[in-house]
Amino acid sequence: MLPEVFGGKQKEKVGEIWFAPPKAIAPALLVKYLFTSEKLSVQVHPNDRQARRQGAPVGKEECWYILAAEPDAVLGIGLTKEVSPTKLHAAVACGQIEQLIDWKPVKPGDLFYVPAGTIHAIGPGIQLIEVQQNSDITYRLYDYGRPRELHLDDAISVATPAPYDMKNYRETVPDQSAKLVDGPHFRLFQVVGDDHDILTATVAGEWQVIPLEGKVTARGKTISTGGCGLCTKVSEIDLSKNIRCLIACTMK
pLDDT at site 3: 47
Domain count, the chain: 2
Is 187 marked active-site?
no
Rounded to whole angstroms, the Cα distance separating 118 from 61 reads 9
How big is the CA angle at 206 (ends 158 and 185), to the nearest 5 degrees? 25
Q: Which domain holds residue 10?
A: 4-171
**59 exposure class (CB count in 10 Å sphere: 0-12, 13-18, 19+):** buried
Q: What is the mean pLDDT of the chain?
A: 92
> 49, 52, 140, 244: which is the annotated catalytic residue?
140
> Confidence band (pLDDT; 50, 70, 90) for 9?
low
Q: Is 215 in a helix, a strand, or coil?
A: strand
pLDDT tens column, 157-216: 999 999 999 999 999 999 999 999 999 999 999 999 999 999 988 889 999 999 999 999
Q: Which of 171, 196, 225 is the last residue of a domain?
A: 171
Count of CA atoms in the C-beta half-sphere (13 A) of 15: 8
> Confidence band (pLDDT; 50, 70, 90) for 238?
very high
Cα Rg, the chain, nearest whole Å:
18
Largest CA distance in the chain: 55
Q: What is the CATH number of the domain that holds 62?
A: 2.60.120.10
Same domain, yes or no, for 164 and 112? yes
- Give the residue ranges of DSSP H helices in the chain: 48-53, 85-93, 97-100, 152-158, 197-200
pLDDT tens column, 136-154: 999 999 999 999 999 999 9
Same domain, yes or no, for 15 and 64? yes
